[in-house]
Chain A
């Protein structure tokens, strides 16, 4: 290995470790008595800059657990999952399961699902622009053939379910000054995240609508998706759901089933 390659790898090892860098690396640095402190500026920058990217991605998590706890978790996360890409836009994909793995957070069982909403928000924000379903597209399909068609949800659409009221928690923490108390007894939450145009929308939907969209996302026909959704939620009424949402950006394409 070339001296440059060796040095760069040793430097990276030391950035990632919370321990004092190996003597062999410190010996490579010009020593004015402050070589270790000088190295520590880089290690600190590495942790803080990437931690800042996580803080930008997960502002609600930061509010829920507080700045100090967030920073400690972010440092641990950066060391466990250093960035795999040069652009930090989508850094932090493993943060929701990481939160679940922390024993000290087991008293906040909703945290990971809230983090999934935040990650999905960012994925949707940066996703490729896609048109929304138009009345003209639907008008080309004969009414009697509608049920057998695939009705594809918008490509930016994400579905997140939790046993806890995570939509209410996410919503209440959008403003810095909110101190609303949310009872976990409110129960489960079905969340849809999507970006029909430029703004990301986060909506709570019924259990039936959630499963309807989930099946449609898998490419199932409207009829089959309705069947599956009504098994989950017998009050689900696809007619009124579609009247409200067919052209609001929830969908982008309709086509005969393959």
Chain B
């Protein structure tokens, strides 16, 4: 049965330079019934690591109508422990079966002990970590037989022992491993605000050829005394400031496939689609503008 399914998708369907949406179980039926005009969908492969049943069945159906991207949350690239080969093999099984256009993972760790945090914990930015992350990215790429994208994290704390600025660490990890960058614009905004980093300095080393995908999401604001901490909860629409930063990034980096992420307070599909269209409108107007300037 597996063989027959694998042969449905003999090659990855390219993720187009359009806006896409995170695929949520509550929206499966709407998407199948209404076939909305959306460029692509993204999934967390960990949600499809069951042996069978509805999630895989729906994904198979949706994959036959749309390109998909796989955004892993469980590889723990920054963990001091070896990567979990069972998890990697599960990931490979899904990648082989569904042939996603893009595969990505976070610059973070979630496995520090015998158990898993299931949350993305920031790294210590040292040469030791850099070597480890590069080795782990290469191992994932070798297993999957393809290039992956690494996402810049959102974070709420920094370690004193860190010696390398996050953006330099990220760019160096990408260069050494041959991976690409998933630029999460909301994470840039959240981390820069939380740590008092300058956004332009953060973006400076990032070039067009590195970036394979952009993420947009909402964040929450938590008061800590007289200060504010931004929490990357993917629980609300993208805020105005992040939309502005997005336009700035597109103007600099080009019309990169853009995902609207939503992982809590999931809205109706219509509402989600409106945000997707908003991003798409900007990608379209960027193309028109650049056509005018270059043509």
A28 at the interface (CB under 8 A from B): yes
Min CB gap A78→B, angstroms: 10
**Docked-complex contact A38 and B87, CB < 8 angstroms:** no
Give a binary string over B96-113; 1 marks a CB under 8 Å from any A CB, 0 the rest.
000000000000011111
A35 touches B113 (CB 8 A): no
Q: In the complex, are the beta carbons of B112 and A11 less than 8 A apart?
A: yes
Cβ of B245 within 8 Å of any chain A Cβ, yes or no, is no
Q: Are B115 and A34 in contact (CB under 8 A)?
A: no
CA gap between A159 and B206 in the complex, in Å: 56
Contact yes or no, B156 A86, CB < 8 A: no
A42 pairs with B112, CB closer than 8 A:
no
Which of A11, A125, A198 has most B Cβ within 10 Å? A11
Say whether A82 faces chain B, with CB atoms less than 8 Å apart. yes
Chain A residues closer than 8 Å to B132, beta-carbon distance: 4
- Indicate if the CB atoms of B160 and A8 lie closer than 8 Å: no
A176 to chain B: closest CB distance in Å? 15
B55 within 8 A of partner (CB): yes
- Give the distance in Å from the alpha carbon of A103 to the alpha carbon of B132 in the complex: 46
Counting CB contacts under 8 A, is A88 at the interface?
A: yes
B216 vs chain A, min Cβ distance (A): 21
Known: A37-B229, A86-B111, A125-B53. A5 touches B80 (CB 8 A): yes
- Within 8 Å by CB of A12, from B73, B117, B129, lies B117
A127 sits at the interface (CB 8 A): yes
Given known pairs A7-B124, A42-B157, A49-B119, the reply for A89 and B112 (CB within 8 Å) is no
A85 contacts B by Cβ under 8 Å: yes
* In the bound complex, CA of A5 to CA of B81 (Å): 8
A50 engages B113 (CB within 8 Å): no
Q: How large is the interface on B (under 10, 10 to 19, 20 to 34, 35 or more residues)?
A: 35 or more
Interface residue tally on A, bucketed by range: 35 or more
Cα separation A157 to B131 with both chains bound (whole Å) = 47
On whether the beta carbons of A84 and B161 are closer than 8 Å, the reply is no
Identify which of residues 79-131 in chain A touch chain B, using a CB-to-CB cut-off of 8 Å: 82-89, 124-130
Q: Tell me the bound Cα distance from A167 to B90 in angstroms.
A: 35
Chain B residues near A39: list those with CB within 8 A. Answer: 157
Among candidates B73, B111, B119, B159, residue contacting A45 with C-beta atoms closer than 8 Å: B119
CB contacts between A and B, total, < 8 Å: 135
Q: Contact check, B87 vs A4: say whether CB atoms are below 8 A apart.
A: no
B116 touches A89 (CB 8 A): no
The residue on B at minimum CB distance from A84 is B115
Q: Say yes or no: A4-B117 contact (C-beta < 8 A), given A38-B157, A86-B74.
A: no
CB distance from B235 to the nearest CB of A (A): 11
Of all chain B residues, the one with the shortest Cβ separation from A83 is B116
| Residue A240 lies at the interface, judged by CB distance under 8 Å to chain B | no
User: Which of B1, B116, B126 has the most C-beta atoms of chain A within 10 angstroms of its own C-beta?
Assistant: B116
B156 contacts A89, CB within 8 Å?
A: no
Chain B residues with Cβ under 8 A from A87's Cβ? Answer: 46-47, 49-50, 74, 87, 90
Q: Which residues of B contact A45 (CB under 8 A)?
A: 119
A126 engages B51 (CB within 8 Å)? yes
B35 within 8 A of A: no
Q: Which residues of A contact B222 (CB under 8 A)?
A: 41
Please indicate the chain A residues that have their CB under 8 angstroms from the CB of B227 in the complex.
Answer: 34
Count chain A CB atoms within 10 A of each CB in B54, B57, B119, B158 and give the residue with the most: B119
**Contact A28 to B161, CB < 8 A, known contacts A38-B229, A86-B84, A86-B87:** yes
The complex places the Cα of A89 from the Cα of B84 at a distance, in Å, of 17
Contact A34 B126 (CB under 8 A): no
Interchain CB contact (< 8 A) of A83 among B53, B76, B87, B118: B118
Q: Closest chain A residue to B1 by CB distance?
A: A129
Q: Known: A8-B80, A28-B159, A86-B74. Contact between A53 and B118, CB under 8 A? A: yes
CA distance A126 to B80 in the complex (A): 31
Whether the Cβ atoms of B128 and A2 lie closer than 8 Å is yes
CA distance A165 to B115 in the complex (A): 36
Contact B51 A128 (CB under 8 A): yes
Contacts of A206 in B (CB 8 A): none
| In-complex Cβ contact of A28 among B112, B114, B126, B160 (8 A) | B160
Does B52 make an interface contact (CB < 8 A)? yes
Interfacial residues, chain A to chain B (CB-CB below 8 A): 2-5, 7-9, 11-13, 15, 27-30, 34-35, 37-39, 41-42, 45-46, 49-50, 53, 82-89, 124-130, 195, 198-199
Closest 7 CB pairs of A and B: A126-B50, A86-B74, A8-B112, A129-B52, A82-B115, A128-B51, A5-B80
Q: Beyond A38-B224, A128-B52: 16 further Cβ-contacts under 8 Å? A: A5-B80, A8-B79, A8-B113, A11-B121, A12-B115, A30-B158, A30-B159, A37-B224, A37-B229, A38-B229, A83-B118, A85-B116, A125-B50, A126-B55, A127-B50, A195-B53
Pairs A–B under 8 Å by Cβ, sample size 7: A3-B126, A12-B115, A34-B229, A42-B156, A83-B115, A88-B46, A126-B51
